[in-house]
Structure 1
Amino acid sequence: WTFAIYEIGSIIAGAATGRLTTYWTVRSNMIVAALIFAAGAFITTFAPSMEVALAGRLLSGFGGGGLIALSYVAIQRYFEAAIWPQLMAILSVVWGVAAFGGPLYGAIIGTVLSWRWALGFFGLAAIVFAAACLVVLRNEKPHDARKPAGAFPVFTLLLLASGITAIATAGVEIRPLVSAGLVLAGAIGVTLFFVVDSRNGASRLFPSGVFDPRGIVGSGMIMVAALSISTCSFGFYGPLLLAALHDFSPVTTGLIIASESISWSILSIALANAPRHWEAAITRIGAVMIVAGIAGFAWVVPTGSVAGILFFATLQGGGFGILWPFASRRVIEAARPGEEEVTAAGFSTLQRIGYATGAAAAGIVANSNGFADGFTKAAAETAAVPLFLYFLPLALVGCLAAFRFAALTSARPR
């Protein structure tokens, strides 16, 4: 629950961020988000009970999700589109460093001091970040009050919150039927959110045509959602499978999992300066790499080939790495006038919605194949192939959407 409740707050805040930047500056939003994150970190640090700790994690999720989405909004609003891929690649490097260094940091601080200190230091870092925003962004222009922002869509956001909460609950529920029911309820809630949001006009939280495959924005969003959902099994269940099946040590599994984020970061930087006319081909190649990675895991995880697992982890992470910077720019560029901020925030938020849904779906698959009775070798042998193979059809949907997206962006006048 400590992870799930953070993700709930992160997704809700991410969805709201694009709209909030139409009321206040990026600077104001970043300062508030950083202070909310810090408050949550300190509440968790000094929590006398698990309930209070979870409340702190939820608050940190609000702040952290807002900061991530604001990074994309800031890139869209204050930098030329020509350098967006390079800036997106830098964000990928930050993500890669965090994915690799976060567990190491937690292990060191937790061993030398305690987990409370680890969170407390994060709270202090967030305060420093908020102070830096006061100085670095001091020349930001005030929000243009002449642009109608509309009333904030509280009811719509509540629909998203209820749907994501149900999905996150499914991710920690071990009874397959209950978990499936929660995922279904969550999917209904999220679907209602998008239906209601599409009718909100100037108050919408996601862009127009968010899942319309006929447009660049819609095909790009379908691509991100499908690929994010279908790639969760390795990150969430890879360590358990490798430990149960092949007695891999925590260090070995940690390094293998980290290789995915490292390849994402390295390839993002390596191709960030690619010519614009290469972008459609890079998008197609990235999607194919991701699908190949999922299919490959179904083969090499049961066999325990370290070289094979590293190869397909690098393939899956690298596929996202080369696809993400260019896809995000093209989606934001194609947004309707006045929807640039919600498109920038929505693109990254939809990825996190996909991860939450994928984690819950992977949990259902794992528990239905024996994990509900314990993480035994027999259960791992039964679940190893389905955890990847069952997601392959959705990954192919994401790949087809990527090809459609690439074709539309190639045909769009520059």
Structure 2
Amino acid sequence: MSTTKDDRDAGKAEGHSEAEGRWAELLQPNHLAATVTLCLGVALFAFNEFFISTALPTAVEEFGGAALLSWAFTLYLVFAIIGGALAANLKARFGARNALIAAALVFVTGTVIATLATSMPQVLVGRLFQGLGEGIIAAICYALIPELFPPRLVPKVFGAEAIVWASAAFAGPLISGFLTEHWSWRAAFFVNIPAAAIFIALVLAIVPRRSASAQIVQPIPLFRLIAFGLGILLISVSNMLQNGFAMAALVVVAIAVLVNTVHLDRRSRHSILPLGAFSIGRPLGTGLWIILLMPLAQASGSVYLVYGLQHLWNFGPTAAGFSSALMAMSWSLTAILVASLRSHDLRVRLIWVGPLLLCLGLIGLTVAIATAEFRLVFAGQIAIGAGFGVCWGTLSQLLMDVSPPPERDKTSALLPTLQSAGYAVGAAVFGLTANIRGFDEGARLAVMRDALLAVFALSCVISVASLFFGIRTVRLARSRRPTRSEARAQRPVTVD
């Protein structure tokens, strides 16, 4: 493929721009407010997750209705996914600024309802609104990264967001636990309100109004959004069932709904998914498989690892929870190191290492359970966190870069949505696996170990699939040269 002088000049300019990226630039006056805004958008999602997970059990004790506890997380997740799928359309229809403010107000409304609740059903309504608002916020914040920052700083922004996640993993449970213990669980909910108010103020100051030349707005694909939400809801509900056959049937129905909805979306003139989504012949398609499969595989640890540490090795809650914090630390530290690499091509070549480290970490967890060697758990968690840190930011940037400009909002909005879907599907699949193997609260230790061994062995298989797509994504990305229009599209965007 021949290249023109403009193409070569664009490539040289891009390479020069990439080499000049510095962490300190994120704190300079022309980028500081945008950095804080996007990181705060992520923080609302991250801290809310850890705040609520810590405070909700106390709310259940006050109201009763323990059977509804899982629904507080299920409804939040389902509506966060729906909000994420809707985000690109809302951004095009109303502009990022108006959509973010409206979503933040929806989130605040949900927080107020949950904070003032006098029963568990009211808490569930609040969680529904929180999920919808947060899904939109997270997706649009992803879409704004390439709009508010030049390409050389995009890896640094993802690194900064990794720091936010690590901070939430550490500080979230501590702050929420302190507020719940010394004041009330309502205080842990209420903290989100001033944070959301600051976020709205920053959006008003930083995010530009939509220009008059906004793209043609597509109609909202309501039927497909409902179908996507229904599929995820069925998967989440299946994880609550005790009967293995009923659980398997519901998972099969849910997957059938999701697959058929994806096929329907591909044939639609007004699609939710970007062009080439999940195609194995394009880097966008194979990259999206990684975004889905890595969280799906890691969900085994998210659901069962702390429980296993407490029951197989008699760890206390704090010591068991340290394993999750260890993964978060590893993820953040690795993400910062990778984002500091000046060569974009090198970061792309390292994408496949992420699924490889995930696979090795999950193998370590499997061996730890099989041999009763708990120290392998911590090594495995470090490897898993490093796997996400190595590839997640670079992969997200790559998927935005390889998407045609009109499709980039769809791709950006899909990333956090697909990640949440991966965790939801993983929780259901591993819940089904554990139940089939006899996992139960009163199960004998040998039965529990056998069930967890099956769960983590399956997660290893899924991680191998993500490794396949990781290798293929790198090959497709390196064999693909950017066109002239794409090179120009990747240049810094100036916002008046």
Task: Tell me, yes or no, whether TM beats 0.5.
Answer: yes
Segment drifting more, 118-127 vs 353-362: 118-127
Give the counterpart of 2:318 among 239, 251, 256: 251
Match of 1:24 in 2: 94
Deviation at 1:152, TM superposition (A): 1.2
Match of 1:295 in 2: 363
The answer to whether residue 311 in structure 2 is matched with residue 241 in structure 1 is no
Match of 2:478 in 1: 410
Cα deviations across residues 120-148 of structure 1 (Å, max 9, x unaligned)?
221332133223322233xx141455522
| Rounded Cα–Cα distance in structure 1 between residues aligned with 2:416 and 2:214 | 28
Q: Which runs of 4+ in 1 moved over 6 A?
A: none
| Rounded Cα–Cα distance in structure 1 between residues aligned with 2:183 and 2:239 | 31
| Rounded Cα–Cα distance in structure 2 between residues aligned with 1:195 and 1:372 | 37
| Rounded Cα–Cα distance in structure 2 between residues aligned with 1:273 and 1:233 | 30
Deviation at 1:165, TM superposition (A): 0.8
The normalised TM-score by structure 1 is 0.95
Report SS of the residue matched to 1:385.
helix
Contiguous gaps of at least 5 residues in structure 2: 1-70, 483-496
Give the counterpart of 1:346 among 408, 414, 421: 414
The normalised TM-score by structure 2 is 0.80
Give the counterpart of 1:52 among 122, 125, 134: 122
User: Which residue identity is paired with 1:349?
Assistant: T
User: Which residue identity is paired with 1:410?
Assistant: R
Deviation at 1:7, TM superposition (A): 0.7
Give the counterpart of 1:100 among 154, 158, 170: 170
Match of 2:72 in 1: 2
Deviation at 1:10, TM superposition (A): 0.9
Deviation at 1:74, TM superposition (A): 0.8
Give the share of equivalent positions with the same residue, in percent: 27
Give the counterpart of 2:250 among 142, 167, 182: 182
Match of 2:284 in 1: 217
Cα deviations across residues 279-320 of structure 1 (Å, max 9, x unaligned)?
233112111101111111101134443432111101011101
Report SS of the residue matched to 1:320.
helix
Match of 2:442 in 1: 374
Segment drifting more, 332-341 vs 143-152: 143-152
Change over 3 Å in CA distance of 1:229–1:46 after alignment to 2: same
Cα deviations across residues 39-70 of structure 1 (Å, max 9, x unaligned)?
11111111121111111111101111111112
The answer to whether residue 263 in structure 2 is matched with residue 263 in structure 1 is no
User: Which residue identity is paired with 1:64?
Assistant: E
User: Which residue identity is paired with 1:39?
Assistant: T
| Rounded Cα–Cα distance in structure 2 between residues aligned with 1:37 and 1:257 | 27
Match of 2:103 in 1: 33
Give the counterpart of 1:230 among 290, 293, 297: 297
Segment drifting more, 236-245 vs 46-55: 46-55
Report SS of the residue matched to 2:469.
helix
The answer to whether residue 140 in structure 2 is matched with residue 70 in structure 1 is yes
Match of 2:131 in 1: 61
| Rounded Cα–Cα distance in structure 1 between residues aligned with 2:246 and 2:212 | 48
Cα pair 1:38 1:124 within 8 Å, conserved: no
Cα pair 2:309 2:315 within 8 Å, conserved: yes
Report SS of the residue matched to 1:338.
helix
Change over 3 Å in CA distance of 1:256–1:59 after alignment to 2: same
User: Which residue identity is paired with 1:136?
Assistant: I
The answer to whether residue 184 in structure 2 is matched with residue 123 in structure 1 is no
Question: How many residue pairs align between the two structures?
Answer: 411
| Rounded Cα–Cα distance in structure 1 between residues aligned with 2:317 and 2:391 | 30
Cα pair 1:85 1:325 within 8 Å, conserved: yes
Report SS of the residue matched to 1:22.
helix
Deviation at 1:368, TM superposition (A): 1.8
Cα deviations across residues 189-236 of structure 1 (Å, max 9, x unaligned)?
2112211221233x3221111110100100101122122211111111
Match of 2:339 in 1: 272
Cα pair 1:20 1:29 within 8 Å, conserved: yes
Deviation at 1:348, TM superposition (A): 2.0
Report SS of the residue matched to 2:318.
helix
Change over 3 Å in CA distance of 1:157–1:366 after alignment to 2: same
| Rounded Cα–Cα distance in structure 1 between residues aligned with 2:85 and 2:159 | 22
Match of 1:326 in 2: 394
The answer to whether residue 204 in structure 2 is matched with residue 134 in structure 1 is yes
| Rounded Cα–Cα distance in structure 2 between residues aligned with 1:255 and 1:227 | 21
Contiguous gaps of at least 5 residues in structure 1: none
User: Which residue identity is paired with 1:73?
Assistant: A
Q: Which has the larger radius of gyration?
A: 2
